[in-house]
Structure formats: C-alpha cells, structure tokens
Amino acid sequence: QVQLVESGGGLVQAGASLRLSCAASGPSFSSYVMGWFRQAPGKEREFVAAISRNGANTYYRDSVKGRFTMSRVNAKSAVYLQMNSLNPEDTAVYSCAARMSSDIDARPGNYRHWGQGTQVTVSS
C-alpha cells in the first residue's frame, strides 16, 4: 500500500509561487493515478489537479488552469504541483492522493490513499 508525504507549503504574498512535492513509498507507484486536492477552513475538500500514471495527461480545475502545473517522476515516486500567480483564494491545506486505476478522476471519494497535507497561505 502506498504512503504519501507532502511538503513545500508555506506563507507567501499574492502573486508569488510555490512548488509542492508529494513523496510516495510502497510498491508500484506507476500504477497509481495521482491527484492534488485542497481544503480551506469551513469548506469542503475540492479537486485541484490529477495526472495519469505515465504523466502524459493532466486535468485541472478551471480556477487554476494556466497557473498550476502538476507533474510526476515515477523513478523518484514523486509528484509535484507548481503553483504560480497565487492569490488568497488558493489558501488551503493541500493534500496529494493516489488511486490505483488507469482513469483520471476528480472525485476525492475515488482516491484511497491520502497524505497528511501541507498548509498553503497566501496573503493579500
């Protein structure tokens, strides 16, 4: 079973960039579709981005398209989320998740494995 650990969060000003990392341990990392989700205080968890098993396909929520880029390096069992032009609405706890499937999915309930999350705070 895969275990996930996120890093790279922090406090930044609006317009800044951050790069989140998610390190996976366990077998068969390349068998997992990976996703990034976020949850702001008082709000439901929401989908941010997902990437196919070989990294060839990505999918983003509309509000981050053109600003965020998700990538993966299977040889390192890692996924990344490059976040540019951050704004206060991006403030949340960001978590990576893994789904053993060939299909990209935006529904958090379809991901079985989750990291503990990393806080991203964007000040105006």
DSSP 46: E
The whole-number average pLDDT for the span 71-87 is 98
85: which 2 tokens? 């032009």
Nearest in space to 65 (alpha carbons), one of 92, 83, 40, 89: 83
* Rounded Cα–Cα distance for residues 100 and 120 (Å): 27
What pLDDT, on the 0 to 100 scale, is given for residue 7? 98
What pLDDT, on the 0 to 100 scale, is given for residue 27? 87
Does the pLDDT at position 39 exceed 90? Answer: yes
What pLDDT, on the 0 to 100 scale, is given for residue 80? 98
Percent of the chain scoring above 70 in pLDDT: 100
